[in-house]
Amino acid sequence: MSRENGLKKFTHSKLFLPLVSLAVVLLVNLIKSPAFFAITVKQGVLYGRLIDVLNRGSEVAILAVGQTLVVAVSAGTDISVGSVMSLSACFTTMLLAGFGVNTTNTIVMPLALGILAGILMGGVCGAMNGALVAKLKIQPMVATLILFNAARAIGLLLNNNQITYIRYEPYKWMGNFLPHVPIPTPIIVAAIVIIVVSLILKKTALGMFIQSVGINSRASRLVGLNSTMLCFLCYVICGLCAGTAGMVASSRIYCSDSASIGLNYEMDSILAVALGGNSLGGGRFNMAGSIIGAYTIQAITTTLLSFGVSTDQAPVVKAIIVIAIVVVQSPVFQDYLENRRNRKASAAKGVA
Amino acid sequence: MADDVILTMRGIGKTFPGVKALDNAQLTLRKGEIHALMGENGAGKSTLIKVLTGVYSFETGEIHMEGVEGNMINHSTLEAQNHGIATVYQEVNLCPNLSVAENLFIGRQPRTKFRNIDWKTMNRRAKEIMDGLQIECDVTANLENYSIAIQQMVAIARAVDMGAKILILDEPTSSLDDNEVEKLFKLMRDLRSKSVSILFVTHFLEQVYAVCDRITVLRNGSFVGEYPVSEMPRMKLVQAMLGKEVEDLNEIANSEHKEVSDEVVVEAKGISHKGTIKPFDFTIHKGEVIGFTGLLGSGRSEMARCIYGADRTQTGTLKFEGKELNAKNPYDSIQAGMGFLPDDRKADGVIGDLSVRENIILALQAKKGMLHPIPMSKQIEIADKYIKLLEIKTASRETLISQLSGGNQQKAILGRWLATDPKFLILDEPTRGIDIGTKTEIQKLVLKLAGEGMSLVFISSEIEEMLRTCTKLYVLRDGQKVGELDGNDLTQGRVMAVIAGDADKKEEKA
């Protein structure tokens, strides 16, 4: 009985459907090519499709963390995160290489400082978005549209309208491998971001406050919550996440390609939040769901590529899969299933 | 089906996760009657209506309606409307920025031969409808220009014009004043004579006796009985609703707490809020209960909000326990030891998608600050304490508060403030829209808290409630304090006189 209850609790939990979606995607791979799950060690580092999913999904997972908070607190989305990634990357490469330098083998500033500055740049962008949304009450989509357009261009400006290459070995670490560590660094970075934010949510009342403001900001104000400050804070965290993701993306290709870094990532991060079973109407949120959502998106992409679907056509198939997942999770469909189950149950009772 | 019966609901059952909302509920409506649906909070009145109008599905039972073959199951309110069942809620579901005529004909506007809206015909027919129901208004003016009462009547007129045979009025009188209520009743009697059946949900016993023909009482989701109003004395009705003998409300003795200590808790001088409240003074002592009274819109709530700091004051000073308090926002007031239960429970009180536990501990957590989270074990302890103390009916402490009935939500919000252990608590309409049993409990609680040394402001539309609980009454009119009553002046007649303004001249003379 208790086991049955446990199972029921699990199937009714908010994480159930996101997990099932991810599992189904992985299962398809298992049937098609069992090699998908093979993890091998080559030249001292881990290889395999599964590692690939975790590795490539890092940026979206990091973005999803921040995006979840923004959606929860303001019932809106930050569509500037992709551009902010690009700006952060450009800012860091400018600092490391020096303004106007096209390609360099040495850096003019300590690496850690440069990366920290890039992450903080994300925070500054987040603060600007936050001020517009929280203080001036501009609709989130409009407020973040400004940086969505401008950030990428500012980045290009910082790099003197060219792509700056940092051919300095340690710069590649963050997006590839640390010496003597078999796990790709992006996975570690994503894990750190997730753990840090989870700890903040767990060890403070921030999580409850964010949800409270997102659900009913008037009532929240009357119980003494500073809705403006909380909303601002979420945008800053989201910006910091975008900065971090930008560092990873830039390190992967050891340059700041302002046109391609973070391109369309804002959409993937929003999709991750939605796939995680979170309402884009704000309020209650489920961080774990968003992260699972992020990796689901990556799993779909990797699967399609491994099936030989061309990169040009992949979005079509991806769209179909996403529709299926979203429909299955929709309340209307869930109600339909629930009703069917109830009817069957009462029919069975009637027979007995 | 008997000739004059238009609707029967039999053996209706409906389960929500963890709660049996309806269990063998029944209802019989006859043609051309006004039928009251009564019961405590959580008795299942709203659920029964929602089952009838297709908002909820139901598991067991049958609904039969005249003119509909077999068991009638509505899947949406639209389907219910097509069957001739219309609902008018307390919050009017119309478009305030459209004209009265547009609201009456929305979705079914008369057209000219060019398929344009035929404004002339529409306005003429709207005028006819409103005249027919003897409601005076300009049909071309925007709906928002009219009082809630008129807006409700427009909603009713629309329903009737669309051929509603059954009209459900869900707490229509909660935000109306006596005059408006009388107008609404006139309209209801009018419709009764046109053989429309009206199902009237209300908490006001007086109104049931004023306008209804029959009463159906529900308790804990089950049918208790159906009675003709003429054969049902008030006391018996209350007993049927509560399922137990009630102590007479009048037993709540006012005299016990007449003595008030000299210790001043809050002293406000000349505080005001631009546009709503003219400068006023306010002093409350330890253990004192002060009531604010006045007509709707007189500024009762605004005055409370000024004292609490929910609206920033433009002039004046406020001292809390002798120290100057310049509250920039509610956070400052809470830190000082104030609490405020707002009158609009839905918009300003409950955080719907949070659990009962979270709603209860929220203010305390805000007071402690974000960086000092209350440990889960402590949260559970606090939540359980107030669920028990206030007898909040909930499936569990983790149930979302939005799934609770109105009165139980109100109790949870009350628990939220008690958990912060305030020295000064403002309760704005804590008894609105809740059943008589809970009302009594809340009034008793107010007196108990005052006895323990808490200072309270108690605001209610029902003067009797305030006369029972308060030691002093502030009377407001048009955003201004026009009188302070205490001691022997605390009688209904005297309060009415001051509200109406008759007393002013006498006082000036004296």
- Contact B63/B70 with Cβ under 8 angstroms? no
Closest residue by Cα to residue B361 from B333, B387, B335: B387
* pLDDT recorded at residue B244: 61
> What residue segments make up the domains of chain A, in order of their start?
32-330
- Contact B455/B286 with Cβ under 8 angstroms? yes
CA B412, CA B391: separation in Å to the nearest integer? Answer: 9
As a whole number, mean pLDDT of residues A131-142 equals 95
Closest residue by Cα to residue B27 from B36, B17, B18, B14: B36
Closest residue by Cα to residue A66 from A197, A189, A192, A185: A197
Q: Which amino acid is at A27?
A: L
The residues, any chain, with a CB within 8 Å of residue A318's CB and separated by 6 or more, are A297, A300, A301, A304
Provide the residue-wise pLDDT of chain B in tens; the chain has 510 residues: 556 899 999 999 998 876 788 988 999 999 999 999 988 777 888 889 999 998 888 889 999 998 888 888 888 888 888 889 998 877 777 888 899 999 999 888 888 888 888 899 999 999 998 888 888 888 999 988 888 788 888 888 888 888 889 999 988 887 777 778 888 898 899 999 988 999 998 877 788 889 999 999 998 889 999 999 988 887 788 778 877 655 555 555 544 545 667 889 999 999 988 877 889 999 999 999 999 987 766 788 888 999 999 988 888 899 999 899 988 899 999 999 999 999 888 889 999 999 999 999 999 999 999 999 999 999 999 999 999 998 898 989 999 999 888 888 999 999 999 999 999 999 998 987 777 778 888 888 999 999 999 999 999 877 788 888 898 999 888 788 888 888 888 887 788 778 776 544 444 444
Would you give the end-to-end CA distance of chain B in angstroms?
Answer: 68
* pLDDT recorded at residue A1: 44
B416/A223 Cβ within 8 A: yes
Q: At CB < 8 Å, which residues of chain B contact A?
A: 57, 59, 310, 329-331, 333-335, 340, 342, 347-354, 358, 362-363, 365-374, 416
Which 3 state secondary structure label does DSSP give B15? strand
Strand partners, B318: B268
CA A138, CA A344: separation in Å to the nearest integer? Answer: 49
Could you say which of A219, A226, A339 has the minimum Cβ distance to residue B331? A226
Which residue would you say has higher pLDDT here, B254 or A50?
Answer: A50
Residue B70 exposed, middle or buried by CB count within 10 Å (0-12, 13-18, 19+)? exposed
Which 3 state secondary structure label does DSSP give B431? coil
* pLDDT recorded at residue B75: 86
* Position A249 pLDDT exceeds 90: yes
* Position A111 pLDDT exceeds 60: yes
Taking CB atoms and an 8 Å cutoff, what residues of chain A touch B334? Answer: 223-224
Q: CA-nearest residue of chain A to B371? A: A204
As a whole number, mean pLDDT of residues A244-269 equals 94
Taking CB atoms and an 8 Å cutoff, what residues of chain B touch A205? Answer: 365, 368-374
- Contact A69/A55 with Cβ under 8 angstroms? no
B373/A223 Cβ within 8 A: no
Query: What is the four-CA torsion angle of B239, B43, B250, B245, rounded to 10 degrees?
Result: 30
A284/chain B closest Cα distance in angstroms: 7
CA B101, CA B94: separation in Å to the nearest integer? Answer: 12
A208/B365 Cβ within 8 A: yes
B342/A226 Cβ within 8 A: no
Residue B402 DSSP label: G
Taking CB atoms and an 8 Å cutoff, what residues of chain B touch A226? Answer: 329, 331
Q: Which amino acid is at B410?
A: Q
HEC assignment per residue over A198-209: HHHHHHCCHHHH
HEC assignment per residue over B311-352: CCCCEEEEEECCEECCCCCHHHHHHHCEEEECCCHHHHHCCC
Taking CB atoms and an 8 Å cutoff, what residues of chain B touch A346? Answer: 59
| HSE-up (13 A, CA, CB side) for residue B343 | 20
* pLDDT recorded at residue A324: 85
CA A175, CA A185: separation in Å to the nearest integer? Answer: 6
Closest residue by Cα to residue B372 from A205, A201, A229, A224: A205
The interface predicted TM-score of the complex, written ipTM, equals 0.85
* pLDDT recorded at residue B505: 46
* pLDDT recorded at residue B132: 82
Q: Testing the interface with A: which of B305, B328, B362 to mutate, by most A Cβ within 10 A?
A: B362
* Number of Cβ atoms within 10 Å of the Cβ of B403: 18
Which residue would you say has higher pLDDT here, B318 or A1?
Answer: B318
Taking CB atoms and an 8 Å cutoff, what residues of chain A touch B350? Answer: 216, 219
Parallel, antiparallel, or unpaired: how do β-strands B214-219 and B222-228 relate?
Answer: antiparallel
* pLDDT recorded at residue B2: 59
CA A124, CA A298: separation in Å to the nearest integer? Answer: 28
pLDDT-derived band of residue A307, with 50, 70 and 90 as boundaries? confident
B334/A221 Cβ within 8 A: no
A339/chain B closest Cα distance in angstroms: 9
B354/A219 Cβ within 8 A: no
Tokens of B420: 């912060």
B7/chain A closest Cα distance in angstroms: 26
Question: Domain A32-330 belongs to what architecture?
Answer: Orthogonal Bundle (1.10)
* Position A28 pLDDT exceeds 70: yes
* Position A29 pLDDT exceeds 60: yes
Tokens of B332: 């400052």
* pLDDT recorded at residue B109: 85
pLDDT-derived band of residue A39, with 50, 70 and 90 as boundaries? confident
Q: Please state whether the predicted TM-score (pTM) of the whole model is above 0.80.
A: no
A222/B330 Cβ within 8 A: yes
* pLDDT recorded at residue B509: 41
A242/chain B closest Cα distance in angstroms: 24
pLDDT-derived band of residue A209, with 50, 70 and 90 as boundaries? very high
B48/chain A closest Cα distance in angstroms: 19
Could you say which of A203, A208, A342 has the minimum Cβ distance to residue B358? A208
A74/chain B closest Cα distance in angstroms: 15
CA B251, CA B253: separation in Å to the nearest integer? Answer: 5
